[in-house]
Structure 1
Amino acid sequence: MTGRVGIVGVWHETNTYSARATTLADFEAFELRTGDALEAHNRGIGTVIGGFYDTPDVDLVPVFSAGAWPSGPAEPEAMARILQDVHDELRRAGPLDAVLLNLHGAMVAVGTADVEAAVVATVRDVVGDVPIGAVLDLHANPSPALVENCDVLVSYDTYPHVDMRERGREVGGLVTQLLAGRQLRTSVRKVPLLVCPLAQATESGPMRRVQQAAAARAAAADLARLCVVGGFAYSDVDRAGMSVLAVHDADSAAAADAVLDATVADIAEHAGEFAVARDDVRTAVARAIASTRRPVFLADVADNVGGGSPGDGTALLRELLAVGATGAVVTIADREVARLAERLGEGAGIDTVLGAKTDRMHGEPLRVSGRVERISDGTYRTTGYYMTGQTFSMGITAVLSIAGNTVVVTETAVPPFHAEQLSSVGVDVRAASIVVVKGALAWRGAYEDVAGEIIEVATPGVCPVDVSTLPRLSEPMSV
């Protein structure tokens, strides 16, 4: 073994416009683990930490990890507890030769605008001047303070995020090189461009072209790594926006600067291509009804659960019912209705007010009548691309039949990243006429192969297609 390497994670994508505060209970429900429990939860799994465990020739020490599904800013009590746990568990772990960090890069807490920088500062306070390598989400908003305190900082390359484990493995390898004496550094450039996730797809479009050009420049300059980070526009902080990260040898700073500057210039040249526009609800539903390519997937972009929305938007369901659509599948998070359906039982009639209970940014509550078809605990294990092998829970989940359509009501909002989310409750999307997914792009990793047509919809909500419609107090920085 070449050293004792600690594993720490603090992961949350924070939508500062969301009305749903992130509590300690949200972390407990997703991941709040130490020691052996942390290792058991991630080893062999398609997560960043799972990738850390692919690192050979080091003694990996599971220290602490906290993670929660995207939502609003973390409550100050939760943040204080997490930072204290990072500190205490690192001390309990004993001397470490390096640390591997799983971070998001767009986490915000009440009173702490740059959580990742605070986490790394806490780690440094305990471990001192040892190598630190971190992985960020492609939707990160890394600050110069964060970059300065890490030796190597790498983001996912893909959206949908299919390379989480690979990036963990990569950073593990880079930290091993640091332990062997290689002098690596990370430099950053911030680009004051706020981009809708729809324009951040890495298989095509401007993001793909910018990434390919940047990778070619980095290879020519013999840099260890170059990352184009799309950023998270739904966070009102000055570090929001696109970023470019270069991991390079200490004596290659000038070459890295040239590549960073050229990549920023390339992004600026293509900035107009990152602007997107999509059909409104009425137009999109009419297109879906008229389509002959089934099933049609309607992406409820602004109620993107994976971007921090509540998942209870009613705009598309309301329009589908208004025009008499049948055979549609719609998922809505509504704790009250899920629990009501459980009390009524399978086979019972149900008449209730559904959805839009978090705020009024995602439509109005909708009166519905129908039948309770199935009830489950909402737990499933995914074999799909996102965190492969993990188990997730939607809480009490009711499958309702409403006017010839299937409405899946979950107790807890869970992003539509896994086909098992619906198949586990007996819903076959291949038999549907229309499927509403509450997401922007990441859901495609689960369903694109069965979609006859995809229509992205400019729905109302906290993850709008037009990011300029959100009020901002902070101006994106440029470094």
Structure 2
Amino acid sequence: MNSPVRRAVVLQLFHEASAISPLQVRRTEFLERHHLRGRAVADAFRDTRNWMGGVLTALDLAEMPYEIGLCTAALPGGPIAADDFAMLEAELLESLDAILAEGPVSHVFLLLHGALLAEGRDDPEGDITRAVRKRVGDAARIAVPLDFHANPGPGLIEAADIVLGGKLYPHTDTRERGARLVELALSETDWKTVHVPMGLQVPMPRQETVDGPFSALAALTDRLEGGDIGDVTLLGGFPFSMAPFRGTSLLVTTTDKTQTVPVADKVRAAIDERRAALLAPVPGIDEALPAIRGGLSRGRVVIADIGDNPGGGGLGDVTALLPALVSLKRPFAFGFLVAPELVTAAQQAGTGSTINIAVPGGTIAAGVEALADIRYRNTGAMMQGEMLYGGPGAVLSIGSSRILVSSLRIQAYDVNAFISQGIDLEKMDLIAVKSIGHFRASYTPLATGALVLVDSGGYSSPGRIDAAHGAP
């Protein structure tokens, strides 16, 4: 790249949307998470272990001048309402226009998720990327980092130059991948990313890269890089989408598009060898009880309710797992249960009182142990340093067990979710979280007996999306 201009701009519009979630996302949810510009973005995220932290730190180290336009994100939910998306898109582009009014730019770092959905838009992230390209011209290099669960559309791939995804799930590599994006984008090499669908959709519980079948595929992509191949990313894809381009797919950043074919062939062959494991179902709660009991005979059991994950379109309000935990008669910690009405009942009753939790077929009595806002920073490898907010919360007790209740949708990515609320996980024989894969980064060391996935049938259940897509 030989542009005489040396000036970059950083933008972000980050959201993961489930087409089957009943929760329509509005602009207010972006305002609640973060909606920042300029130095406020750097102050909030430069030291975090996420995409933004990686990109900004790498730009600083490269002594690349840059400006920061609008950077905003919301928690996963349903599609963004049409008017709200139009407003967010306009704000993003207006912030870019303001920067361009001061002179041209050589690089754009456009931080997207890759699984955003908006009412009335077939390819909203493609629309954004094309609009950015129209403004900055063909001479500028557009580099886009995408979440591991991205479903990139054709407009995004066409308009951008370099598109990288995260390789790991839990997403513990995003800072490093952000730095790699900057390295490729600032080089003089004419890189271009090619997108190759893999012809299947791996369910999210089987996309984890800690020790499952996807871990071998992620390791393979590293070995395929070198020479004309600058980067290879295997995206797990986000199944809870109705976009025609959804699915597990490959991003190959290269100087020679013909080299994409042998790379894709090798990845497909590796997928075929592991297809049965990649598509294996997750048991329901009753089916999983023998594995849980077996794990308790060896030590502590960590349970992940993959069917009601607030980070994957779930509402976090399904209580089906709670009676099973009580029936095991062992101390447990359970969270987050997203139930603002339960928090209100606890506040009205006061600490030391008893309230009822609605569960399938009845109620369970619980004591009000503590009342406080849920606000803490992640301390583990997943989203390290980021501030999490769950609104007013309550800690409920059933004997020596504790239930963490929030008013806002929040995922217990990190053990600090419990520790920050005074819950000692070392005293618990069972730890149950509403998560699909991110919990592994922080909770796996605590699973001395077993780590068990269960499907409660909520809005992040693979069965829900199978039904929506017409699968048997």
Instruction: With the length of structure 1 as denominator, give the TM-score of the two structures.
Output: 0.90
1:154 maps to what in 2?
Answer: 164
1:460 maps to what in 2?
Answer: 457
Q: Does 1:218 align with 2:233?
A: no
Question: Does the 8 Å contact 1:288/1:434 carry over to 2?
Answer: no
When residues 113 and 425 of structure 1 are mapped into structure 2, their CA distance, relative to the original with a 3 A threshold, is: farther
1:122 maps to what in 2?
Answer: 131
Residue of 128, 138, 155 corresponding to 1:145: 155
1:195 maps to what in 2?
Answer: 202
Question: Does the 8 Å contact 2:127/2:155 carry over to 1?
Answer: no
1:470 maps to what in 2?
Answer: 467
1:72, CA displacement in angstroms?
1.1
For residues 174 and 304 of structure 1, the distance between their equivalents in structure 2, rounded to whole angstroms, comes to 34
Alpha-carbon RMSD across the aligned residues, in angstroms, is: 2.1
State the AA in 2 paired with 1:391. M
Q: How many residues align?
A: 458
1:2, CA displacement in angstroms?
6.7
Question: Does the 8 Å contact 1:400/1:408 carry over to 2?
Answer: yes
1:378, CA displacement in angstroms?
0.5
Residue of 230, 233, 239 corresponding to 2:239: 233
Q: Does 1:31 align with 2:34?
A: yes
* CA deviation profile, 1:23-78 (whole Å, cap 9, x unmatched): 11211111211122222221122121111112212112111112111111111122
When residues 324 and 183 of structure 1 are mapped into structure 2, their CA distance, relative to the original with a 3 A threshold, is: closer
Residue of 303, 307, 332 corresponding to 1:298: 303
2:407 maps to what in 1?
Answer: 411
Question: Does the 8 Å contact 1:326/1:403 carry over to 2?
Answer: no
2:10 maps to what in 1?
Answer: 7
Residue of 424, 428, 435 corresponding to 1:432: 428
For residues 457 and 395 of structure 1, the distance between their equivalents in structure 2, rounded to whole angstroms, comes to 27
1:388 maps to what in 2?
Answer: 384
Q: Does 1:348 align with 2:344?
A: no
State the AA in 2 paired with 1:273. A
For residues 39 and 220 of structure 2, the distance between their equivalents in structure 1, rounded to whole angstroms, comes to 42
For residues 317 and 301 of structure 2, the distance between their equivalents in structure 1, rounded to whole angstroms, comes to 20
SS in 2 for 1:186: strand
- Matches for 1:46-445 after TM superposition, within 5 Å: 46-54=49-57, 55=59, 56-94=62-100, 95-129=104-138, 130-177=140-187, 181-219=188-226, 222-249=228-255, 252-289=256-293, 291-321=296-326, 323=327, 325-331=329-335, 332-351=337-356, 353-354=357-358, 364=360, 367-402=363-398, 404-445=400-441
Moved more, 32-41 or 328-337: 32-41
State the AA in 2 paired with 1:236. M
For residues 208 and 460 of structure 1, the distance between their equivalents in structure 2, rounded to whole angstroms, comes to 26
1:397, CA displacement in angstroms?
1.1
Question: Does the 8 Å contact 1:373/1:400 carry over to 2?
Answer: yes
State the AA in 1 paired with 2:433. V
When residues 366 and 88 of structure 1 are mapped into structure 2, their CA distance, relative to the original with a 3 A threshold, is: farther
State the AA in 2 paired with 1:70. P
For residues 362 and 41 of structure 2, the distance between their equivalents in structure 1, rounded to whole angstroms, comes to 41
SS in 2 for 1:378: strand
Moved more, 460-469 or 53-62: 460-469
Question: Does the 8 Å contact 2:367/2:396 carry over to 1?
Answer: yes
Moved more, 111-120 or 269-278: 269-278
1:343, CA displacement in angstroms?
2.9
Q: Does 1:17 align with 2:20?
A: yes
**Which blocks of at least 5 consecutive residues in structure 1 are unaligned?**
356-363, 475-479
Moved more, 240-249 or 93-102: 93-102
For residues 313 and 193 of structure 1, the distance between their equivalents in structure 2, rounded to whole angstroms, comes to 29
Q: Percent same amino acid at aligned positions?
A: 26
For residues 206 and 404 of structure 1, the distance between their equivalents in structure 2, rounded to whole angstroms, comes to 37
Moved more, 40-49 or 79-88: 40-49
Question: Does the 8 Å contact 2:20/2:468 carry over to 1?
Answer: no
* CA deviation profile, 1:81-114 (whole Å, cap 9, x unmatched): 1100111000111232210021111111111242
Question: Does the 8 Å contact 2:240/2:465 carry over to 1?
Answer: no
For residues 75 and 272 of structure 2, the distance between their equivalents in structure 1, rounded to whole angstroms, comes to 32
1:324, CA displacement in angstroms?
5.7
**Which blocks of at least 5 consecutive residues in structure 2 are unaligned?**
none
